[in-house]
Amino acid sequence: MKKIEHIGIAVKDIEKSNDLFAKLFGESHYKIEEVASEGVSTSFFKVGDNKIELLEATNKDSPIAKFIEKRGEGIHHIAFDVEDIESEISRLQKEGFTVLNENPKKGADNKLVAFLHPKSTNGVLIELCQDIKK
């Protein structure tokens, strides 16, 4: 893993949260994107070398809706930048981690993504991210 790619925060209302985090960081988000396959709308902020991703459910059955219902708003996941997501998935499975999706899927911000189950990572949902090569 190369670095923390972003921290994902589940929110109930992305517009209100965009305003709140713009005040906090002193600048507006740089991108809003919907990931229909995950039932989520995302908004990205750049904070120094790091990114914050706000996630709002677009339907009541999405993972973000279920997360907020169970735990409320807050940190949802930590994402790590990887060079080769497929070999990283294989390596982590051999190390005993539970991978939620063995085949990477298209995520927001031009990334291929895969997630590790929180039960295998001390309760933290981990996202692996690789830039989609054009």
pLDDT digits (tens, 9 = 90+) for 25-49: 999 999 999 999 899 999 999 999 9
Q: Strand, coil or helix: what is 72? A: coil
pLDDT on residue 102: 85
d(CA 53, CA 33): 10
DSSP one-letter code for 59? S
DSSP one-letter code for 106? E
Confidence of residue 125 (pLDDT cuts 50, 70, 90): very high
Nearest in space to 21 (alpha carbons), one of 43, 50, 41, 4: 43
- pTM over 0.75, yes/no: yes
Mean pLDDT of the residues in the chain? 95
Which of 17-21, 85-89, 100-104, 113-117 is predicted least confidently? Answer: 100-104
- The DSSP bridge pattern shows strands 126-131 and 74-81 to be parallel
pLDDT on residue 2: 87
pLDDT digits (tens, 9 = 90+) for 54-90: 999 999 999 999 999 999 999 999 999 999 999 999 9
d(CA 89, CA 62): 24
